[in-house]
Structure 1
Amino acid sequence: MNTATLGARSYSFPKEEHLCRKKLIDELFGRGSSFGLYPLRLVWLPLAEPSVAPPQVLVSVSKRSFKRAVDRNYLKRLLREAYRLNKYRLVEAPGGHRVGQLAIIYSGKEKKPFTLVEKKLISGLERLLAGNATPPAEAASRS
């Protein structure tokens, strides 16, 4: 029997959820808004309507901060795993979420343990859901 029919939570991170197209990445960094939760920086582009579909996600670690590819790949694995285990917070949010694309950038200068990275990512996802990270158009209309 399929676990999806039982209502079980899916912890997968399939290729369709990876943000790979250069045009979409340029749009995300050009029009998106961002906030930092050290050692992470989240950049997101809102949707017009709430959705229950998972957003497309980009994970990045700076080559300037981590010269060795082994270290960058390790941190990217940590970020992907933390997102994979906690993406249900967006997908299962009551009323849906407005995150269309999301970039998770590791901005720290040294490697942090998984528990800290996961904790910061969870608080970032909750901040996105709470609406504290308002998109630029909404922030400008409030002023």
Structure 2
Amino acid sequence: MNTIPGNTAKEKSFSLTKKERLSSKKIIDKLFAEGDSILQYPIKMVFLKTDLTAGVKSQAGFTASKRNFKRAIARNRIKRLLRESYRLNKHMVYSELNDEQLALFFIFIGKELPKYEAIELAMKKGLSRIIQKLNEN
């Protein structure tokens, strides 16, 4: 039995473990150099099918610009909202990835602190667009 979380469509893992966080500088550089991007305001999503070393289906990174949000409190809140929204909706992507692995990066490009509902809506729409793009290729 494969131990990758979310391996089947029926199994939904609502956790976001440390292994599922994107931290490899090599993979991040490759992601921004070769990856596709989708803009679903207020989130820009960069993604790339690649081999991940952690043995999970996908790894994700999250960021908010210091230029737009000077205070770390605001940046941390935005990243927390992005992580929570991805954690609850990652099963959409996991169900479409068979034996493939995906690197994702979520960049908040809005100018104001968002409501969770706006992030959730953008995340759902963006992940469904990513699935469409992955199925096209």
Contact 2:85 2:120 survives alignment (8 Å): yes
Q: 1:14 aligns with which of 17, 24, 47?
A: 17
For 1:108, the equivalent position in structure 2 comes to 110
For 2:121, the equivalent position in structure 1 comes to 119
Q: Note the C-alpha offset of 1:96.
A: 3.4
Q: Note the C-alpha offset of 1:133.
A: 9.0
- Trace 1:71-82 onto structure 2 (pairs within 5 A): 71-82=74-85
Query: Quick check: which has more Rg, 1 or 2?
Result: 1
TM-score for both structures, normalised by structure 2:
0.81
Contact 1:44 1:99 survives alignment (8 Å): no
> Is the partner of 1:131 in helix, strand or coil?
helix
Gaps of 5+ in 1: 139-143
The percent of aligned pairs where both chains have the same amino acid is 38
Q: Note the C-alpha offset of 1:91.
A: 1.1
The C-alpha deviation readout for 1:45-67, integer Å capped at 9, x for no partner, is 1249xxxx531101011100100
Contact 1:127 1:133 survives alignment (8 Å): no
For 1:141, the equivalent position in structure 2 comes to none
Contact 1:42 1:102 survives alignment (8 Å): yes
Contact 1:97 1:129 survives alignment (8 Å): no
Gaps of 5+ in 2: 1-5
Letter of the aligned partner of 2:120 in structure 1? E
Q: Work out the number of aligned pairs and report it.
A: 125
Contact 2:64 2:78 survives alignment (8 Å): yes
For 1:92, the equivalent position in structure 2 comes to 95
User: Which structure shows the bigger proportion of residues in strand conformation?
Assistant: 1
The alignment status of 1:68 with 2:68, answered yes or no, reads no
The C-alpha deviation readout for 1:49-98, integer Å capped at 9, x for no partner, is xxxx53110101110010000000000000000000000111123x6385
* Alignment RMSD: 2.4
